[in-house]
Structure 1
């Protein structure tokens, strides 16, 4: 598959179970020059992605059979590079935090001004690694990170690296001991020298959020950290460890 040039339209999938709202959103984005497909459920989204990759998924959370949070978590667990714009009626701060922790690039609360949605899609596409979306079924062999625990450094697949704080290094050390397995906030907090309390759980969440922003800002990549609702955090990409 050849790389997409900057002039080519953004590939978007709108996942919304309300047919009237879905039609409005799709029509608006098509009118703005985007390539848009639509789905009413997570299963329908999987079928579309299996046929052709997307740059951005606009994702409702109140979906039938499978919650949108679970859908986003599945996308991130497969190391999908697709951008996620959540568009939902769930407006509480806790729900927005969960959305971002699960993998949302942008979280919009309904009713949404479609001009803002368009801006969010364009911004999300700009912030993804260049080269266009991977084709369906393409292996993620190039998504190998390097974690140097002696130097407290994390290097992206591109080779660019950042310096980690002690807490960030402890977090990644804990998550990479059994890659892909969710690690509870209790265990992570204890590894950081904290007590397994609700307050320290929030501290763990803050470390994860700061590290995600740091990686996105400094390296231009999504952090290789996924969130499993009710279970904790895990690594979603291959990470080669260099132990201290």
Structure 2
């Protein structure tokens, strides 16, 4: 049974999440503070963490970073009332795989969790891929710019591989959502834009041309062969 750790200090939201997840046959535990979350994660490593960023004792982003260090293969989904895009990017950089903005529908949350768990261990491709300064070691899931390794979250790596493997081609939003998230993904595709924003920033920080990933409004994205 899939183990889920819910980290939420609001009693009403916490109990609702526990009830909904338990009813869908998840093995659920609840932590109402950051310290409780760290202790529970240490004693019983979860397969998935639902993390509220607004906790009373530890900053949610800092806690996300600590959980990611302790649980490298656990799916972390941030629950946040914060709507500024840069705040969401900070959480993704800290190790979150995805986010949901409060208030959210339980049906959407459950669908996203199923999508993440289906794709938690994707098969390895036996190729190495190079475009411009970028080199992807697909079996090892590692990315390099000019020999320097990028620190990418799992979804960022999948997104970069999906774009680079079709370099020079327009990859539609729908194709990227199918490839990187799931063909049965439920909910808005805003998460794609946030991940592209974070990925583009990481590439340029390591010396890649900022024009390497082109946005084609209303269509999708293209990883340019030449810039």
TM-score (norm 2): 0.59
Does structure 1 residue 97 correspond to structure 2 residue 89? yes
Q: What is the DSSP-based 3-state SS (H/G/I as helix, E as strand, rest coil) of the residue aligned with 1:14?
A: strand
The structure showing larger relative contact order (alpha-carbon pairs under 8 Å, at least 6 residues apart) is 1
2:221 corresponds to: none
Does structure 1 residue 46 correspond to structure 2 residue 28? no
Please, which runs of 5 or more residues in structure 1 have no aligned partner? 1-8, 131-145, 177-204, 221-232, 234-244
Asked if the contact 1:56/1:124 (under 8 Å) is kept, the reply is no
Structure 2 vs 1, CA of residues 155 and 119 (structure 1 numbering), >3 Å: closer, same or farther? Answer: same
Please tell me the root mean square deviation across aligned C-alpha atoms, in Å: 4.0
1:38 & 1:78 partners in 2: Cα distance?
Answer: 18
Please, which runs of 5 or more residues in structure 2 have no aligned partner? 123-127, 166-178, 181-204, 206-227
2:148 corresponds to: 173
TM-score (norm 1): 0.55
2:107 corresponds to: 115
2:28 & 2:16 partners in 1: Cα distance?
Answer: 12
Structure 2 vs 1, CA of residues 116 and 20 (structure 1 numbering), >3 Å: closer, same or farther? Answer: same
1:35 & 1:94 partners in 2: Cα distance?
Answer: 33
Q: Between Structure 1 and Structure 2, how many residues are aligned?
A: 164
Question: What displacement does 1:79 show?
Answer: 5.4
Structure 2 vs 1, CA of residues 216 and 19 (structure 1 numbering), >3 Å: closer, same or farther? Answer: farther
- Higher mean Cα deviation, 42-51 or 106-115? 42-51
2:156 & 2:109 partners in 1: Cα distance?
Answer: 25
Asked if the contact 2:68/2:95 (under 8 Å) is kept, the reply is yes
2:137 corresponds to: 155
Extract structure 1 runs of 4+ deviating beyond 6 A.
Answer: 216-220
